[in-house]
């Protein structure tokens, strides 16, 4: 869910389709929109010499897309062994139940209500299906149940909506909280500094090959937006709608409802820290 960043130097690229790293390939869901960019990236992750694959975010309930994911895995000599979700939003998770039926696999997510036939996920969990090593990294902020998955063998992290391949993400207030989101970005920055993560495999948009640069951009963007919101309030713009009209004046109005969620999260954060 994009927030339409206004800073220069933001990550950009084209639509991805097919292999992205040695262990990851993408199937793009046919649900493009201002909020989903080119569509949802459904990721197929597998060790090159294994016949089992893990799917992350099967996407919307679109029968043709779900079948395309299965067919893409089969063309690579893989069958689906497990389904994982980065968070509960429909563009990532709506098709999970049907995908589980088609593949006869369990679905695992942070929220137990989304898990089907398997345990929920938690910090420190390591997924080993088909010999993979996928580490669960809790990254609340976009939503309370947002997760990322660290793929050490490829120096990559699958970020769902926490970091997008283009633009920036929404802090989906009230479920999402800005303080949590900033902490999650710092957690991801530590992966780039301490654990050799160089590649972002996002839930929307193109692959980013400068993970640390992307995280730093996101942190700078959030600081910039907070300063804008604080200034807008000091100038007399009191309601979230007024702040959006002031701060996001140059942004397509179709994105203003999403921007208002982020503004509400920012106003809450500023209030909690005594800044307004």
User: Active-site residues: which are they?
Assistant: 91
- Cα distances (Å, whole numbers) of residue 259 to 13, 168, 173, 174, 268: 23, 11, 10, 13, 14
Q: Can you tell me the distance from the alpha carbon of 110 to that of 116, in angstroms, rounded to the nearest whole number?
A: 12
Q: How many of the other CB atoms lie within 10 Å of CB of 47?
A: 18
Per-residue exposure over 160-180, b if at least 16 CB sit within 10 Å of its own CB, e if not: bbbbbbbbbbbbbbebbbbeb
3 state SS of 117:
coil
**Secondary structure E strands in 112-240:** 126-127, 134-138, 147-151, 156-160, 199-202
3 state SS of 136:
strand
Cβ–Cβ < 8 Å for 198, 211: yes
Q: Can you tell me the distance from the alpha carbon of 188 to that of 192, in angstroms, rounded to the nearest whole number?
A: 7
DSSP alpha helix (H) spans, 76-210? 90-93, 96-103, 178-194
- Contacts for 106 with CB less than 8 Å, ≥ 6 apart: 82, 83, 100, 115, 116, 117, 118
* Backbone dihedral region for residue 142 (phi beyond 0: left; psi -120 to 50: alpha; all else: beta): alpha
């Amino acid at each position: 869910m994009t927030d339409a960043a206004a800073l220069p130097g933001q990550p950009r690229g084209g639509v991805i389709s097919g292999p992205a790293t040695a262990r990851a390939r993408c199937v793009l869901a046919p649900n493009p929109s201002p909020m989903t960019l080119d569509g949802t990236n459904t990721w197929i992750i597998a060790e090159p010499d294994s016949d089992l694959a893990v799917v992350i975010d099967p996407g919307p309930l679109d029968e043709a897309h779900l079948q395309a994911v299965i067919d893409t895995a089969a063309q690579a000599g893989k069958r689906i062994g497990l389904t994982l979700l980065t968070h509960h939003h429909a563009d990532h998770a709506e098709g999970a139940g049907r995908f589980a039926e088609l593949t006869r696999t369990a679905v695992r997510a942070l929220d137990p209500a989304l898990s089907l036939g398997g345990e929920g996920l938690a910090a420190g969990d390591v997924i080993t299906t088909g010999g993979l090593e996928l580490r669960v990294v809790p990254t609340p902020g976009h939503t309370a149940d947002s997760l990322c998955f660290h793929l050490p063998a490829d120096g990559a992290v699958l970020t769902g909506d926490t970091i997008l391949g283009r633009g920036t993400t929404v802090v989906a207030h009230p479920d999402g909280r800005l303080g949590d989101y900033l902490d999650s970005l710092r957690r991801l920055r530590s992966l780039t500094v301490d654990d050799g993560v160089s590649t972002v495999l996002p839930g929307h948009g193109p692959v980013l090959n400068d993970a640390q640069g992307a995280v730093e951009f996101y942190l700078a963007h959030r600081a910039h937006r907070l300063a804008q919101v604080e200034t807008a309030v000091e100038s007399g713009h009191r309601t979230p709608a007024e702040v959006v009209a002031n701060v996001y004046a140059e942004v397509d109005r179709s994105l203003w409802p999403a921007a208002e969620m982020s503004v509400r999260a920012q106003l809450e954060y500023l209030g909690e820290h005594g800044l307004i």
